[in-house]
Chain A
Amino acid sequence: MKLKDFIVADAIIPELQGSERDDVLRELVTALALAGALPRESVDEVVAALIKREQNGSTGFGKGVAVPHVKHAAVKKMSGTIGRSTGGIDFAALDHQPVYSIVLLLSPEAQPQQHLQAMNIVFSNLQKDMFRRFLRQSATKQAIVELLDEADAGK
């Protein structure tokens, strides 16, 4: 599996508007809905599910990245997007540091293997210092897409 298999390029947000966790979750889910990855009328409930998931345990795993994710019946095909914040967002991260890069992943229900594979590829990249640094520096959608292409071509 590759990042570009599920990251929806049209939904990437190189400069998130919000500075609060719940606001940026909404921005990213809305972008996925506008790109056709989920029905627009499902945005509210998917955002609510993501917030609930964060409240159960932050997906801010440290090093300035967060990977909010949820399985939801409204999602027919696994889809993800990326958001970037220059100001940093409080995600109640494990290392108590602000989050600058967010990889959001929505999965259909009942496909745990596919979800695990996607998490594997996301974290394999996020674990690399270079990938995290380039992601944080990528100021345009195009730059982020190129970074994903490079990451997918590498290994």
Chain B
Amino acid sequence: MLMPTTSKDIVVSNKLGLHARPAMQFVDVANQFKSDIKVLKFGEEPGEADGKSVMQMIILAATEGTPMRIEADGEDADQAVAKLAELFQSKFGEED
């Protein structure tokens, strides 16, 4: 059976970038969904991480302004991408 795939492009907007705490927050939310989650990093040093692996997410070392893509593959892909994109939009609760 073909599962839906959804993706959304976002930009890292918090000053500190995707450091450990936001990476863990992302993985916590990602784990609430059944879908496979992939995170792509664009820019000068592109990369790719399993959105459910804290280590892989930290290794991305995505700084403020880095363009990224969140991809979800599975029955709850739409909800997962929406919820995860929201984290970036809310700057992971950091600053202003």
Contacts and interface: CB of A to CB of B under 8 A. Distances in A.
Nearest to B59: A123
A139 B20 CA distance: 28
Contact of B20 (A62, A69, A113, A124): A69
Nearest to A122: B58
Given A61-B54, A94-B54, A127-B59, A119 B64 contact: no
Nearest to A105: B20
- Report whether over half of chain A's contact residues are helix, strand or loop; otherwise say mixed: helix
A56 interface: yes
Interface in B9-65: 15-21, 24, 54-56, 58-64
Interface in B60-84: 60-64
B55 A56 contact: no
Of A61, A113, A116, A119, most buried by chain B (CB within 10 Å of CB) is A116
Contacts of A94: 54
Nearest to B21: A57
- Give the size range of B's interface with the partner: 10 to 19
Contacts, number: 47
Given A61-B54, A94-B54, A112 B19 contact: yes
A61 B61 contact: no
Contacts of B24: 57
B61 A117 contact: yes
B17 to A, nearest CB: 5
A119 B62 CA distance: 11
Contact of A120 (B16, B21, B58): B58
Interface of A: 56-57, 59, 61-62, 67, 69, 94, 112-113, 115-117, 119-120, 123-124, 126-127
11 contacts: A61-B58, A94-B54, A112-B15, A112-B16, A112-B19, A116-B61, A116-B63, A119-B59, A120-B61, A126-B55, A127-B55
